């Protein structure tokens, strides 16, 4: 994850301008977040992993949760602080988390695990599992496929960022090998014009 940090720092302001309000246009994604709310202790700690400009963390905060945003990019965190100064945001690599054991009531990894190579995914998921309380829920989303998209230009800036696409069967197996119980898997088609045109998977997994 850390190797993508310079690219995200470069595009942070443009990224926030395009995506900070994206939930307004994505009812399916809002429904997935509501399902996570239903599985989470009221007022509990929800970690938004790879939070970007922290719009999902703000969504949880507005519903009474103690939202925590974690991202490797200081540029992204700076945008999050500008937009949502009331949030707790931390710099951290979600592939090598340093948060205390069993400290979260739920976690969201929305299109952030896509920067973790397949051969280190189980290690990253074990780190997330360690930070979750017993029986807490992780919601993750990712692009479906079996390839790597190598982006060298983004928002008119030169970057070096790899986006990893996975199958839902791969991710389900990695979750089980990391101590999770997979409870639900959803797939949706892309929203036309407002996002990258890939099919997406959403998986709810319980820490056991």
4 falls in which pLDDT band (50, 70, 90)? low
- How confident is the prediction for the chain on average, in pLDDT? 96
Domain 2-137+174-207 part of CATH 3.40.50.150? yes
Do the Cβ atoms of 110 and 141 come closer than 8 Å? yes
Q: Are strands 180-188 and 148-154 parallel, antiparallel or unpaired?
A: unpaired
Q: Is the pLDDT of residue 5 over 70?
A: no
Q: Is the pLDDT of residue 1 over 60?
A: no
Q: Are strands 180-188 and 200-207 parallel, antiparallel or unpaired?
A: antiparallel
6 falls in which pLDDT band (50, 70, 90)? confident
Q: What is the pLDDT of residue 3?
A: 56
Do the Cβ atoms of 174 and 192 come closer than 8 Å? no
Q: Are strands 132-143 and 104-110 parallel, antiparallel or unpaired?
A: parallel
Question: What predicted TM-score, i.e. pTM, was given to this entire model?
Answer: 0.95
Q: What is the pLDDT of residue 111?
A: 97
Q: Dihedral sign for Cα 34, 27, 165, 168, please.
A: positive
**What span, in angstroms and rounded, lies between the C-alpha atoms of 132 and 102?**
5
Q: Is the pLDDT of residue 23 over 90?
A: yes
- Cα–Cα–Cα angle for 67, 68, 74, nearest 5°? 135
- Give tens-digit pLDDT for 41-88: 999 999 999 999 999 999 999 999 999 999 999 999 999 999 999 999
For the chain, the domains span 2-137+174-207
- Give tens-digit pLDDT for 124-167: 999 999 999 999 999 999 999 999 999 999 999 999 999 999 99
Q: What is the pLDDT of residue 90?
A: 97
């Amino acid at each position: 994850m850390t190797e993508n940090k310079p690219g995200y720092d470069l595009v942070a302001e443009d990224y926030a301008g395009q995506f900070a309000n994206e939930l307004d246009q994505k009812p399916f994604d809002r429904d997935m977040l509501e399902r996570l709310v239903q599985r989470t202790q009221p007022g509990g700690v929800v970690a938004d992993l790879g939070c970007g400009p922290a719009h999902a963390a703000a969504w949880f905060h507005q519903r009474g949760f103690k939202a925590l945003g974690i991202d490797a990019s200081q540029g992204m965190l700076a945008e999050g602080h500008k937009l949502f100064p009331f949030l707790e945001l931390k710099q951290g690599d979600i592939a090598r988390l340093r948060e205390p054991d069993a400290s979260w009531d739920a976690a969201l990894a929305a299109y952030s695990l896509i920067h973790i190579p397949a051969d280190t995914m189980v290690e990253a998921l074990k780190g997330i599992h360690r930070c979750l309380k017993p029986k807490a829920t992780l919601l993750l989303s990712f692009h479906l496929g079996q390839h790597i998209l190598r982006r060298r230009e983004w928002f008119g800036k030169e970057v070096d960022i790899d986006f990893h696409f996975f199958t839902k069967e791969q991710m389900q197996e990695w979750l089980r090998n990391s101590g999770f119980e997979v409870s639900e898997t959803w797939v949706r088609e892309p929203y036309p014009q407002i996002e990258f045109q890939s099919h997406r998977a959403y998986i709810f997994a319980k820490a056991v």
